[in-house]
Amino acid sequence: GQQLNQSPQSMFIQEGEDVSMNCTSSSIFNTWLWYKQDPGEGPVLLIALYKAGELTSNGRLTAQFGITRKDSFLNISASIPSDVGIYFCAGRSYNTDKLIFGTGTRLQVFP
Amino acid sequence: SQTIHQWPATLVQPVGSPLSLECTVEGTSNPNLYWYRQAAGRGLQLLFYSIGIDQISSEVPQNLSASRPQDRQFILSSKKLLLSDSGFYLCAWSWRDTSTDTQYFGPGTRLTVL
């Protein structure tokens, strides 16, 4: 099925560094969601975005709904070991009632 | 508050055996329900979604089926498992109100077909 382009595929960073990942779509979206998945568990919602240009924070996490409606990014500031996991973006375009998921960004944080 | 449960948590089944995975949601009524499969190291593939009892849409042709015998219960089944059915199966729910698309996931079931 259709998937979003999510990058990078993986990141290996040192504790305390900032992280940035993004998703792009070929079609206009009216919803962007960011999830985190720990090994062997279901994805947990981090941030939901519903308006173009919207910038939302959740603790050290910040996500933005791109002005073009075709992209979104997630930033994590001052990373800590518990940030390790796979981060997924998800979105819905106007012509469908289903979410489309990105391929995920695997984050590793080294002390 | 709403909670979503899946069981079993893990399952090892031989090829050709039947399958039944269960998902239940508590704390809400008339939810939309979804079944996803996640292959190792991969993204989420939507298998089925349901907007009501006996209203189920299939996204991918396969030997799996889904049923919704009660409003907050969603079941994934197979009559004969294939090796390719191995994976991590996730159930999710969302509010019926289409103004919000947020889906909330269960803990998942790890299925290994040998």
| Model pLDDT for residues A25-73, shown as the tens digit of each residue | 988 999 999 999 998 899 999 999 999 999 999 999 999 999 999 999 9
Is residue B43's pLDDT more than 90? Answer: no
Distance spanning both ends of chain B, measured CA to CA = 38
Is residue B114's pLDDT more than 80? Answer: yes
Q: What is the DSSP string of B51-71?
A: EETTEEEESS-SSEEEEEEET
Distance CA B43, CA B28 (A): 27
Q: Which of A41, A44, A49, A88 to mutate to test the interface with B (most CBs of B within 10 A)?
A: A41
The chain-wide mean pLDDT, for chain B, equals 92
DSSP one-letter code for A4:
B
Contact list, B100 vs chain A (CB under 8 Å): 48, 50
Q: Where is pLDDT greater, at B7 or B54?
A: B7
Mean pLDDT confidence for B70-98 = 92
8 Å CB contact of A43 and B43? no
Per-residue confidence band for A2, with pLDDT thresholds at 50, 70 and 90: low
Per-residue model confidence (pLDDT) at position A1: 53
Is residue A95's pLDDT more than 90? Answer: no
- CA distances to A76, A79, A103, B32, B33 from B2, in Å: 27, 30, 27, 13, 13
Distance CA B60, CA B47 (A): 6
8 Å CB contact of B103 and A3? no
Per-residue model confidence (pLDDT) at position B98: 60
8 Å CB contact of A44 and B59? no
Per-residue model confidence (pLDDT) at position B100: 63
The chain-wide mean pLDDT, for chain A, equals 93
Q: Is the CB of residue B43 less than 8 Å away from at least one CB of chain A?
A: yes
Share of chain A above pLDDT 90, in %: 81
Per-residue model confidence (pLDDT) at position B50: 93
Q: Which of B45, B46, B104 lies at the smallest CB-CB distance from A45?
A: B104
Mean pLDDT confidence for B28-45 = 88
8 Å CB contact of B105 and A35? yes
> C-alpha angle B46/B89/B55, rounded to 5°?
50
Per-residue model confidence (pLDDT) at position B99: 58
Tokens representing B17 are: 């055996």
A103 to chain B, closest Cα gap in Å: 5
- 41-60 of A, contacting B, C-beta below 8 A: 41-45, 48, 50
Is residue B91's pLDDT more than 60? Answer: yes
Q: Is the CB of residue B96 less than 8 Å away from at least one CB of chain A?
A: no
Q: Is the CB of residue B29 less than 8 Å away from at least one CB of chain A?
A: no
Is residue B97's pLDDT more than 80? Answer: no
Is residue B96's pLDDT more than 90? Answer: no
Is residue B20's pLDDT more than 80? Answer: yes
Per-residue model confidence (pLDDT) at position A12: 96
3-state helix, strand, coil in chain A (%, to 5): 5, 55, 40
